[in-house]
Amino acid sequence: MGRPGRWLMVLDGFGQKGLNDEVRQTIEALAAMVPSGQYRIRVRLVLLDYPRELPRVTLADVLEEDLKPAAKVTLADLTPCLAEWDAERKRQGVTGLADGELAKLAAGILRRAPSSGRGRLETLNAELSKLYAYE
């Protein structure tokens, strides 16, 4: 928390049954706070499939983006991401991947994912989350 830089908060799961009203209130308060004051420079909030309006957020504060093009993640997109992940592991004293293993890892992740659409993004997210948790 004390490191300078930017924060990206990505929140999902709003379609669950029985979503607590306190969760909605917290999201709405957070969404109103992020585009103001000191937070505007350093924080981005991404709400995936949030079903309600955000009452204290203006249209000028919102960017809506279609994720369909993002579902076409390729080997050229994924490899630099994995290289950065591997470099971070090395900085933490973990043995890095051998030469050529990065490309094999990226290809394997992409092979296990559906070829397009939401399922592709969900699978890529799950695969990358496993790598992050394995650190």
Partnered with residue 109 across adjacent β-strands are none
Q: What is the pLDDT of residues 22-81, one digit of tens each?
A: 988 998 898 888 887 777 778 888 888 788 888 888 777 777 666 666 668 888 888 988
Cβ atoms within 10 A of the Cβ of 45, count?
Answer: 20
DSSP state of 5: S
Residue 106: predicted pLDDT: 94
Residues 14, 51 contacting (CB under 8 angstroms)? yes
Work out the pLDDT band at 102, boundaries 50, 70, 90.
very high
Q: For the chain, what is the domain count?
A: 2
Residue 64 tokens, joined: 């809506």
* Domain, as residue range, for 34: 7-61
Q: Are 79 and 51 within one domain?
A: no
Please check whether residue 89 lies inside any domain of the structure: yes
Alpha helix ranges (H) inside the chain: 21-33, 39-42, 75-91, 101-112, 117-134
Q: Are residues 87 and 107 in the same domain?
A: yes
pTM, entire model: 0.53
